[in-house]
Structure 1
Amino acid sequence: MWLTNKLTIYIYILFFLSSCGGSQERTIPIQDFFEKTEKSSFKLSPDGKKIAYLGLEDHCRNIFVLDIVNPDSSKQLTYQDNMNVQYFFWATDDSIVYSNSQSFEDSLRLYTIDVRYELSKLLIPVDDHRIRWLNTTRSFDGTILALMNKRDSSVFDLYRIRLDGAGSTLIDQNPGNFSSWFASNDGKVRLVMSSDSVEETFWHRTEEGMPFNSVIKTDFESTVFPLGPVKGNVNSMYALSNLGRDKLALVEMEIQHGKETKVIFEDKDADVNREGYFFSNQEPLFSAVYKNHKKVTVHNPKLARIYHRIQKKFDDYSIDILDVDSMFNTLIFKTYTDRNPGSIYYYHADKDKIVELTTQNPKLTERSFGEMEEVAFNSRDGRTIKGYLTYPLKAQKSYPIVVLVHDGPNRRDVWGFNAEAQFLANRGYAVFQVNYRGSTGFGKEFFTAGFKQWGGEIQNDISDGVTWLIHQGIADKDRIAIMGSGFGGYSALYAACFNPTLYKCAISSSGYTNLFTYFKEIPPYYQQYLKLYHQIIGHPTREYELFKAISPLFHAEKVNIPILFFQGGKDRHSSVTDANQFVQKVKNRDVPVRYIYKEEEGKRFRKDENIIQYYQEVEAFLATYLN
């Protein structure tokens, strides 16, 4: 009877909220949070005279071009009506290369389009293989560099693709262990990286066609990430490196001997982020680190003056540099806060003129949201764990809490406008995001502390954070939910199995239920990283008992809190069969489970109607079980 009554209430709330969610002044409609942005992916042409972007047309993303000198000549270039343009870049001042597909799960086809005459050509019909790009997409002598796995699905070979549509030429065949290739400033590939999954080796050659020589070796705990060449020097590069240090630093390296020659920027508390290097300028223009907020340090003096001018005009906003031309005449940047999704602008330096390109979401205004506050607490083993707490506008003595666990685990949450967190806060929940051990950005010791801890210390960090919220009087201990996607969904299911007294309910989207099959679903081109997966997660054969102990499928009998479970039929990371078995086991115990299966979706829901349904279900579920 209890289950029947609860489900009846749940269905009623779902109907009520979906039909009149916007009737109250305080409640912002779901569509306003998660509708697609009208314009995105703004990119400058190499000469800085035009801006290309993706715009919505007939519910599909197409390429548009804005002429900065003559805005009236702006135009639409592509006319996809059943596929999205997924990715594009300027190859020359007058040509754009782009790819499209019906979803991110499909293979891509590659095209080029002449901006002047709006003529499109099919370059590569990638029906049964995939393309990866190098550190530059710049055109050299009418060709672009690309990696394709058409010879062998498990490895990527190096090709030059002709922009006139005359095909491609194989430059280097992958011996089997090359994982990354890096172009010099003359378009030649002199540096590659090989991986046996646990160790990585950088190989250098003086010219194409010559043999490679080993120059740098790193283990799975250390990182060297090449950013690009040093201007005028094919034997030097800029890179992010934590060799001999805990945090990633921006350095200059002499390639032939693999030695650091200069430390350009480092921070004692955080990794330097992978942004700021622009191949068109062939220098790192700025460095960024994420602490409580994002901190930007500009290295180029001319750009520093421009950045300072922009900061004065947007004093209360964070500013992200998205693109800049080689002469520093035109710059594209984004402004935002934790309560405002912000806008994107271009800045014309000669005229000291700022022009708005788009508002990220004009329906969401700053006065509608609460603040996102950084918090820190100590885990049970004494480690400092950081995170964020997003509050509802209406202050309360204690709050119902939604613990929103990030995917990865090798990712992190950052300060800024988070539509999902603000949607939940708008419904009255305080949203808790934890950068548990194993998250990136905090140095290699913190990152490696999460190895083989998927069902151990990582989960303890999350639950320790919740306990801290309760002790601080922030959380209402009887109204706490846990929610996430991918690894975050796994954490929600893990909590339902092993921490049911801490949480009132759990929401999982594409959460991993069985880590044995997680390894079986790895695509062939990820096989070379299998040993690294074993180091980070564990070995399904040698550590059989560990995998069984931390896979929710084998502990469904312990679940006694309601679960909302979403699963995509095309999700390569989470087995549909295992998800079905887990849900059925929980249902057999008369525990409330709401299972939403979308055959056409992958790990992330892409269709508008499915995204809206997802959050309608989340809203009704939380309203039911957090009272």
Structure 2
Amino acid sequence: MKWTLPTLALVILVSLNTIAAPQKLPVEAFASIADVSNVTLSPDGQNIATVVKMDLENQQGSLVSIYNVASGESIYPVQTDNQKFTITGLTWASNDLLFIYAKFPAVRYGTPTTESRLFKYRLSDKNLSSVLKPKLLKRFKWVPQVQSDIINMLEGDENHILMQFRGLGNNSQFETVMKVNLSNGRSSTVQYAEKNVIDWTTDKQNRVRVGIYRDDTHYKIVEQPDNNEDYRTLWEFEAFSEDQVWPMGFGKDPNILYVQAYHEGYKAIFKVDLTDAKLTKQLVFKRDKVDVTGGLIYSKVKKDYIGISDGTDAEYTFWDDEYNGLINGLNKVLPDTRNYIVQYSENERRYIVFSTSSTDSGTYYLGDRDEKSLQPIAYRYKELLPELMARTTTIEYKARDGLAIEGFLTTPNDTPKTKLPTIIFPHGGPISFDNNSFDYWTQYFANRGYAVLRMNFRGSYGYGFDFMKAGLKNWGLEMQTDVEDGARWLISEGIADPKRICIAGASYGGYAALMAVATTKDLFQCAISVAGVADVEDLVKSHRGYTNFEIVKKQIGDDYDALYERSPVSKANNINVPVLLIHGEKDRVVDIEQSEDMYDALKKYNKPVEFVELEDGDHYLSDNADRLKTFHAIEAFLQQYLPTTKAM
């Protein structure tokens, strides 16, 4: 059997200046899981751990790879078929110890859940084991669903970490903080659970200082001087309100807390002196007309926060001039891509760069500030060469009520930009967003000859408070017409062929696709829903067994009659175009019953519908075989109902 793993030592990169003729790539080039993901550098900068795609004759899945920079050798200590469990992340605990995060679907008392676990691999003895030992788990009233929540790596102590769990003590529904020994698995309680406190934050002195208190939709940010002491309320607010304040981390000074809050209608970063009776927020970082998101980046060298980490691959954005200088240098060396530092070694002399664009799926580089070198180490999708991908441009159109909607238009290479067969592709979430970055779904459609429009309809994330608020309880209303107005704009601009437009989406995007063909006539010629919502009433009611039920009702609504009327399943008889439904049987975000009910409703009225069930599939198409099955089904569906060549 032959391994076909991405080489982490040497990657042959095709020049961006190469001119290539239009080329139809195989479905597998787009539909396979990434060749490389979760790239992380050890504290000493000597080892790079990553998750790589496993592709054997009779076995597929993912492997954890650990590549030694000095020797150029790799080891593969962990593998999974992405069905029993999926690797979700990697973190170095020390130079010798790698944490491996994993998830798998389960059912608790009849309620579908996603379970998370934390494993450790020690390089010195080549040993893989669970961080939590059976003896520790016996202390719990029930086995914790989440067993991977590290809240403090305890700098200077390589033998212990702080983790939080539910299932202990008198307030077992809420979080207890425990100190866990990484050698023998022993533990001790550091912070006892407090009623309604759902998350804890420590200061740089390793004391549990701040908690997030939630009662239904009401939040409080509480603070205590030390573990288990009486706490005071710093701020309180309602979910989705403009006066929300979220703790992000403590500075070196234990009285300085960094927070995220709204500034002139957009999220920004502030710091607050907790000894100040007025809790005055001092602005640290903001962006113009967009939200600041992500987590703080703490420099162990400068002993201060130097920026934020956000984006698809946790890209670094600095507010420190020294680090911005390094980014400016990278941009000169790599001028055709957006270049992000995504990790530093502990002394910040080595670093990982992720370089990407709308046509470049992403290249990882190892940088060395002392040697002044930049070495390519891996390409995210090795078959999706940049010169074969279609370019994306940022556009703007007006919704029917005049609201400006930002969109991202991708058109096929070397084709006239008029009267194109088109895919409207709204994002999931719906409190999520699209941007002018690489998207493998979009590139697949464009490679097949379709124009693709993605848009950030109202309610999308990142555009400030008013834009976010406009999406609350708005499923099937203006959020929906924003999507449809994007299709009409493409027609008015002469870009889309009005007789050859399909709408496709996943999760909420699947809902938008189904709702579009249920509420419009002659605008779309087909619809594709992957793990989509068909019954909004049922979606809300299905959260009754979860702790966020009240939040869901506040976001989506609780007028069940109205929600059903705004559900595609209630309007199946109005749909007169072919529909493709695809759904994983172990989807823990949108239950497969949503697609099953939609299929039954369409069949009842003899509507043209196909339903592809993914055995053991999850919401994110984590398994390579599920992605391939999904894309092959889409390929056949589009060839039948929306071919890219007009009939003669």
TM-score (norm 2): 0.85
- Secondary structure at the aligned position of 2:444 is classed as helix
Q: Structure 1 residue 588 and structure 2 residue 594: aligned?
A: no
Counterpart for residue 510 of structure 2 = 489
- Secondary structure at the aligned position of 1:71 is classed as coil
Quote the Cα distance in structure 2 between the aligned partners of 1:333 and 1:482. Answer: 35
Q: Structure 1 residue 379 and structure 2 residue 379: aligned?
A: no
Residue-by-residue CA offset, 1:128-179 (whole Å, 9 max, x unaligned): 6223525544556422122222348853332222111333333334334212
Residue-by-residue CA offset, 1:47-88 (whole Å, 9 max, x unaligned): 3343222234563433333334x2346533435577554333
Q: Structure 1 residue 226 and structure 2 residue 242: aligned?
A: no
Q: Structure 1 residue 559 and structure 2 residue 578: aligned?
A: no
* Structure 2 gap ranges (5+): 1-20, 107-112, 138-142, 644-648
- Secondary structure at the aligned position of 1:175 is classed as coil
Q: Structure 1 residue 284 and structure 2 residue 305: aligned?
A: yes
Quote the Cα distance in structure 2 between the aligned partners of 1:241 and 1:456. Answer: 28
Alignment of 1:191-590 (within 5 A): 191-220=210-239, 221-222=241-242, 223-230=244-251, 232-242=252-262, 245-255=264-274, 257=277, 259-275=279-295, 277-278=297-298, 280=300, 283-287=304-308, 298-393=318-413, 394-522=415-543, 524=545, 526-527=546-547, 529-539=548-558, 543-590=559-606
Question: Which stretch of the first structure deviates more once superposed, 245-254 or 295-304?
Answer: 295-304
Picking from 37, 49, 52, the partner of 2:49 is 52
Judged with a 3 Å threshold, the aligned counterparts in structure 2 of structure 1 residues 296 and 72 are, in CA distance, closer, same or farther, namely closer
Counterpart for residue 163 of structure 1 = 182
CA contact (8 A) 1:228 1:279 kept: no
Counterpart for residue 11 of structure 1 = none
RMSD between aligned residues? 2.6
Quote the Cα distance in structure 1 between the aligned partners of 2:155 and 2:567. Answer: 48
For 1:467, the aligned partner's letter is R
Residue-by-residue CA offset, 1:505-525 (whole Å, 9 max, x unaligned): 11111111222221233385x
Question: Which stretch of the first structure deviates more once superposed, 323-332 or 421-430?
Answer: 323-332
- Secondary structure at the aligned position of 1:522 is classed as helix
TM-score (norm 1): 0.88
Query: How many equivalent residue pairs?
Result: 593
CA contact (8 A) 1:302 1:328 kept: no
Q: Structure 1 residue 91 and structure 2 residue 93: aligned?
A: yes
Quote the Cα distance in structure 1 between the aligned partners of 2:22 and 2:322. Answer: 47
Q: How far apart are residue 219 of structure 1 and its match?
A: 2.7
CA contact (8 A) 2:445 2:452 kept: yes
- Secondary structure at the aligned position of 1:431 is classed as strand
Quote the Cα distance in structure 1 between the aligned partners of 2:328 and 2:392. Answer: 25
Counterpart for residue 75 of structure 2 = 75
* Structure 1 gap ranges (5+): 1-23
Counterpart for residue 612 of structure 1 = 628
Quote the Cα distance in structure 2 between the aligned partners of 1:536 and 1:108. Answer: 26
For 1:269, the aligned partner's letter is K
Q: How far apart are residue 464 of structure 1 and its match?
A: 1.3
Residue-by-residue CA offset, 1:1-32 (whole Å, 9 max, x unaligned): xxxxxxxxxxxxxxxxxxxxxxx962111111
Quote the Cα distance in structure 1 between the aligned partners of 2:506 and 2:278. Answer: 39
For 1:402, the aligned partner's letter is I
For 1:602, the aligned partner's letter is D
Q: Structure 1 residue 42 and structure 2 residue 61: aligned?
A: no
Judged with a 3 Å threshold, the aligned counterparts in structure 2 of structure 1 residues 407 and 101 are, in CA distance, closer, same or farther, namely closer
Q: How far apart are residue 577 of structure 1 and its match?
A: 3.5
Counterpart for residue 204 of structure 2 = 185
- Secondary structure at the aligned position of 2:596 is classed as helix
Quote the Cα distance in structure 1 between the aligned partners of 2:102 and 2:433. Answer: 29
Q: How far apart are residue 199 of structure 1 and its match?
A: 2.7
Judged with a 3 Å threshold, the aligned counterparts in structure 2 of structure 1 residues 346 and 416 are, in CA distance, closer, same or farther, namely same
For 2:348, the aligned partner's letter is F
Picking from 141, 147, 170, the partner of 2:164 is 147
Quote the Cα distance in structure 2 between the aligned partners of 1:520 and 1:433. Answer: 30
Counterpart for residue 12 of structure 2 = none
For 1:145, the aligned partner's letter is L
Quote the Cα distance in structure 1 between the aligned partners of 2:216 and 2:500. Answer: 43
Counterpart for residue 123 of structure 2 = 115
Quote the Cα distance in structure 2 between the aligned partners of 1:549 and 1:217. Answer: 35
CA contact (8 A) 2:259 2:272 kept: yes
Q: How far apart are residue 389 of structure 1 and its match?
A: 0.6
Quote the Cα distance in structure 2 between the aligned partners of 1:505 and 1:154. Answer: 46
Quote the Cα distance in structure 2 between the aligned partners of 1:599 and 1:59. Answer: 16
For 1:31, the aligned partner's letter is E
For 2:75, the aligned partner's letter is K
- Secondary structure at the aligned position of 1:420 is classed as helix
CA contact (8 A) 2:118 2:148 kept: no
Residue-by-residue CA offset, 1:285-330 (whole Å, 9 max, x unaligned): 335899xxx9975322332232222111001110122111343201
For 1:59, the aligned partner's letter is Q
Counterpart for residue 602 of structure 1 = 618
CA contact (8 A) 1:517 1:575 kept: no
Quote the Cα distance in structure 2 between the aligned partners of 1:415 and 1:316. Answer: 14
Question: Which stretch of the first structure deviates more once superposed, 135-144 or 438-447?
Answer: 135-144
Quote the Cα distance in structure 1 between the aligned partners of 2:39 and 2:90. Answer: 10
For 1:509, the aligned partner's letter is V
CA contact (8 A) 2:144 2:165 kept: no
Judged with a 3 Å threshold, the aligned counterparts in structure 2 of structure 1 residues 132 and 254 are, in CA distance, closer, same or farther, namely farther
Judged with a 3 Å threshold, the aligned counterparts in structure 2 of structure 1 residues 219 and 621 are, in CA distance, closer, same or farther, namely same
CA contact (8 A) 1:407 1:484 kept: yes
CA contact (8 A) 1:224 1:241 kept: yes
Judged with a 3 Å threshold, the aligned counterparts in structure 2 of structure 1 residues 442 and 41 are, in CA distance, closer, same or farther, namely same
- Secondary structure at the aligned position of 1:341 is classed as coil
Quote the Cα distance in structure 1 between the aligned partners of 2:325 and 2:507. Answer: 42
CA contact (8 A) 1:509 1:566 kept: yes
Quote the Cα distance in structure 2 between the aligned partners of 1:383 and 1:79. Answer: 48
For 1:143, the aligned partner's letter is H
For 2:164, the aligned partner's letter is L
Quote the Cα distance in structure 1 between the aligned partners of 2:343 and 2:337. Answer: 18
For 1:234, the aligned partner's letter is P
CA contact (8 A) 2:86 2:622 kept: no
Question: Which stretch of the first structure deviates more once superposed, 134-143 or 244-253?
Answer: 134-143
Judged with a 3 Å threshold, the aligned counterparts in structure 2 of structure 1 residues 140 and 520 are, in CA distance, closer, same or farther, namely farther
Identity score, percent: 23
